[in-house]
Structure 1
């Protein structure tokens, strides 16, 4: 028995020692990754060499944020905590195109280690209870607004627990997507977990105290709570259906894998109906960060309005400023190599190859002369062709905070077309620093991505969302599909 006890104690000691080594490794790797991300951005990001508000924000965070984040590495003890700290540093730049993402499958949106049996949403500038699991005792009613928790105001709690860790709270889209986590414990070692006591204002009356008690998490609980609060697209991202007698065109993704060939055929087949009756274009949740995402959106508009009509309404590309570094030149050289190795691409897209060669030549000239940046002219605006508008009916474009990247580029075009109204809730924001470089960080646990050129002449300012005008903003529950559809239908009357 004594021998077994000795073996057991030795095994436990070995396990504890291995865990300590693992935690130490994660701390060390987090420090290395933060420094590597900082060095890569300092060496190659355009904001470091340009002026303007976006560049000031970048320069104000790159060193201060590194110091801040490195001071927290002592709390990194796992891959998930590593990911949290990387996101914290990346989101501090307030640039949607700077991201540090895990190279492994992370926790996902429907995760918590504990929750009080209810969740909150961002509604009208407040954190409001949006869902209560049936059977949960002593829970505030749906609609109750969080006033404070453990003596900390709801806003201060959100800033400490959500901002940078879960989303960028300087945007409405970030507020909406992260709101369900306000009172959950997401196992973030850098933030508080589930609070014990919170005051809620019920029906705008004096605050009432509720003691939050952890409720056992059963399969599907957290997903149901999140989906009852934040709109989530269904399994079929691209489709056309008839809703309340009117065509409803669903585009909930700009991914290449969404099924665009069949969808585009359906759009062409129903183009006459879309043009005559008008339609709803549903872009909720339609994220897409690549160049092809924008091309998908423009291609959809061309199939409905025709290229002859849209071409003169497309926003001018304007001037693009490049930071002249060997690292940025290497990105274009590698891209050119892949283009030239693809015989089909050479046959079909020779102008793109020639443009890329010209950019590399401009890099070489700038590097040889010691220029920190250089600027190249983009595609100019095209004069009105005089083509008639083929769409006679009204067009309602429904958006939310999930509309990002290529979706915003598509809105840049759609808002220039007649009889088009943007409705719903504010979209995500996007940066003027575009076209991503992606680099694996030293730990191999994360990838850094950032825009390596600056669209300084873009007509829409940096980090500017599309916000529906007064009367076109949806203020109800975004997850209540029947209510959303009824509200959109009322806009045609």
Structure 2
């Protein structure tokens, strides 16, 4: 598909007072269809103006351009049915999810009230590829399937196929990812007429009971009287820090790379302690709870533990020396640097900090590139991350392991990239999430004032990890990944077995 010239957009970031006025104006309107159509066209035009996929000639760029146009048409057809705010939000999410990119979507300003939830009286969780009855909700006297029963079919479709058809188009269509499958599983027996306004209630489900008996259940939908613990829960995030497990074994909770408040102090304390662990027997980086943030924070942790140059040496050997990133040049990208990124860097480092000064440099480079009419701006001046001259390090290093959960994405995945390039690194836990090659994120407020579009404006070239490709662990943990005690016991057993096997090999080779 060819790339068409596009009109320049005006400023996309507005103050809170203007947003409030816009929201009030929308609330007074009766034509939700018109509001929806206006926001859809804004999303389309903003992405055409600023998203790298619109001019990128890779397969990822081709897929982006295809949905940009096809998805707009499909969404405008759906907009003809919009009569409420819930339906308005559903259509915007429908358009955003079609790009199959965790860095692109629409965030809205309204939550879903408890009265808007409907349930069958029992909840479902995704566990190791199966949909399992996980909880009975209070106040339900209907005949409920026993806890642990496996859902086989609902109205003639497998649970995965039903969720793919009815739920994924309005949230995340990457149903092949464990993070998406597990997050959307609850909607098999949970519904919201605000989030999924046109969904028809499921009538029957066939389940395999814990006794292996196959039984059919007629679903009785009713308003949810009390929100269950599992319904809509956010990811659990352990506090950051280093834990001494004894016998030279250390557990590093690297649970967040999007720092604010106390997280900044916790991270700095953790960073300061890592050089003292270079002679440790085992160091485990626990990434549970980490959904991304600043990728430089992960590299800093590894450099602190393993000495500067060690990580870069092995990254170069693994092919990452060929990887580089380019920004799509646009007035929108310049605004992101000048307002969003600078404000965050100032809050973290102050105006004299290295992070702040780097954003100033990138802002100025983006301004110059825009004035010169360039399409692309290489993130680093030489076209790739500067390689450090580093001979292969000598001496013993600790046994190293990383532990991931299914929501590890963005900067968390960057950390896994770096870690897996190191010799002897063991990957444990659950499969990660995945990223497209389009990265970093800017925010543009919608004309309606009822939410914002978030979108990437940078593309990776020659990245060894593929587009939307997750990492699979060397060893899978089949229990509750949020149970720290159980996870630590399992990890220590896995690493002890590997340590013993390595010693046995060393003995036989003498």
Common fold by TM > 0.5: yes
User: 1:414 aligned to 412, 419, 429, which one?
Assistant: 419
Task: Summarize deviations over 1:81-100 as a string: whole Å, max 9, x none.
Answer: 33322222111011222111
Task: Summarize deviations over 1:161-214 as a string: whole Å, max 9, x none.
Answer: 221323332422211122112210122344425423211133595742012234
Give yes or no for contact 1:160–1:191 (8 Å, CA) kept in 2. no
Is 1:255 the counterpart of 2:258? The answer is yes
Distance in structure 2 (CA, Å) of the matches to 1:54 and 1:206 = 46
- Give 1:435 shift: 2.3
Task: Summarize deviations over 1:108-154 as a string: whole Å, max 9, x none.
Answer: 9x996121222222234332223334776522233322222233332
Counterpart for residue 402 of structure 1:
407
Give yes or no for contact 2:146–2:210 (8 Å, CA) kept in 1. no
Structure 1: 5+ residue runs without aligned partners?
1-19
RMSD of aligned C-alpha atoms? 3.5
User: 1:128 aligned to 101, 126, 132, which one?
Assistant: 132
- Give 1:384 shift: 2.7
Counterpart for residue 117 of structure 1:
121
How many pairs were matched up?
A: 457
Task: Summarize deviations over 1:351-391 as a string: whole Å, max 9, x none.
Answer: 65445434433333344xxxx55656132433434444663
Q: For 1:130, what is the secondary structure of its paired residue?
A: strand
Counterpart for residue 66 of structure 2:
60
Give yes or no for contact 2:274–2:301 (8 Å, CA) kept in 1. no
Give yes or no for contact 2:241–2:266 (8 Å, CA) kept in 1. no
User: 1:240 aligned to 217, 235, 242, which one?
Assistant: 242
Give yes or no for contact 2:118–2:221 (8 Å, CA) kept in 1. yes
- Listed as ranges, the matches of 1:141-290 within 5 Å are 141-168=146-173, 169-187=175-193, 188-192=195-199, 194-202=201-209, 205=212, 207-214=214-221, 217-219=224-226, 221-224=227-230, 232-234=235-237, 237-242=239-244, 246-257=249-260, 259-269=263-273, 271-273=275-277, 275-289=279-293
Distance in structure 2 (CA, Å) of the matches to 1:100 and 1:389 = 50
Distance in structure 1 (CA, Å) of the matches to 2:458 and 2:426 = 31
Give yes or no for contact 1:322–1:452 (8 Å, CA) kept in 2. yes
Distance in structure 2 (CA, Å) of the matches to 1:243 and 1:51 = 50
Give yes or no for contact 2:278–2:306 (8 Å, CA) kept in 1. no
Question: For residues 309 and 209 of structure 1, do their structure 2 counterparts lie closer, same or farther at Cα, with a shift above 3 Å needed?
Answer: same
- Give 1:156 shift: 2.7
User: 1:476 aligned to 463, 475, 479, which one?
Assistant: 479
Counterpart for residue 4 of structure 1:
none
Give yes or no for contact 2:132–2:150 (8 Å, CA) kept in 1. yes
Counterpart for residue 308 of structure 2:
307
The range that moved more, 403-412 or 150-159, is 150-159
Counterpart for residue 370 of structure 2:
363
- Give 1:32 shift: 0.9
User: 2:431 aligned to 426, 429, 433, which one?
Assistant: 426
Is 1:450 the counterpart of 2:455? The answer is yes
Give yes or no for contact 1:331–1:437 (8 Å, CA) kept in 2. yes
Q: For 2:476, what is the secondary structure of its paired residue?
A: coil
Task: Summarize deviations over 1:3-28 as a string: whole Å, max 9, x none.
Answer: xxxxxxxxxxxxxxxxx986833332
Task: Summarize deviations over 1:284-318 as a string: whole Å, max 9, x none.
Answer: 120124xxx21221222222223243343454473
Give yes or no for contact 1:184–1:193 (8 Å, CA) kept in 2. no
Question: For residues 156 and 202 of structure 1, do their structure 2 counterparts lie closer, same or farther at Cα, with a shift above 3 Å needed?
Answer: same
Q: For 1:29, what is the secondary structure of its paired residue?
A: helix
Distance in structure 2 (CA, Å) of the matches to 1:22 and 1:155 = 40
The range that moved more, 208-217 or 450-459, is 208-217
Distance in structure 2 (CA, Å) of the matches to 1:269 and 1:436 = 31
Is 1:319 the counterpart of 2:321? The answer is no
Give yes or no for contact 2:438–2:459 (8 Å, CA) kept in 1. yes
Give the TM-score of the pair, scaled to structure 2: 0.78
Question: For residues 351 and 478 of structure 1, do their structure 2 counterparts lie closer, same or farther at Cα, with a shift above 3 Å needed?
Answer: closer
Question: For residues 350 and 445 of structure 1, do their structure 2 counterparts lie closer, same or farther at Cα, with a shift above 3 Å needed?
Answer: closer
Give yes or no for contact 2:240–2:270 (8 Å, CA) kept in 1. no
Q: For 2:351, what is the secondary structure of its paired residue?
A: helix
- Give 1:329 shift: 4.9
Give yes or no for contact 1:237–1:250 (8 Å, CA) kept in 2. yes
Distance in structure 2 (CA, Å) of the matches to 1:263 and 1:255 = 10
The range that moved more, 33-42 or 345-354, is 345-354
Counterpart for residue 495 of structure 2:
492
